[in-house]
Amino acid sequence: VDVFQAWCGPCKTVVDLFRKLRNEAGSDLLHFAVAEVDSIDALEKYRGKCEPVFLFYAGGELVAVVRGVNAPLLQKTILEQL
């Protein structure tokens, strides 16, 4: 989940990376979503920060967090979680 605030928008620079990984992994294993923290109370702790935050869930549980746009780390985290 790409967690963002309305004033800075979702991170568009990693969409291609996620699309590539999803095509490689298969659409049944990897799902990508965006969430605006200003409208979701459960994400309140991520408000007030301009860096993107990527939350990784498996089985409904938070399993990893990556802060900032670090393509190699995002890719590594995704592949490890799959």
> Residue 48: exposed, middle, or buried by beta-carbon count in 10 A (0-12, 13-18, 19+)?
exposed
- Is residue 46 a contact partner of residue 37, using CB atoms and an 8 Å limit? yes
Instruction: Chunk the chain into consecutive blocks of 10 residues (it has 82) and report each block's average pLDDT, rounded to whole numbers.
Output: 78 78 80 86 82 88 90 90 84
Report the residue count for the chain.
Answer: 82
pLDDT at 9: 66
Cα dihedral sign for 73, 27, 24, 59?
A: positive
Number of domains in the chain: 1
pTM exceeds 0.75 for this model? yes
Domain extent for 45:
2-81
Would you say 57 and 1 are in contact if contact means Cβ atoms under 8 Å apart?
yes
Structure tokens at 59: 């089985």
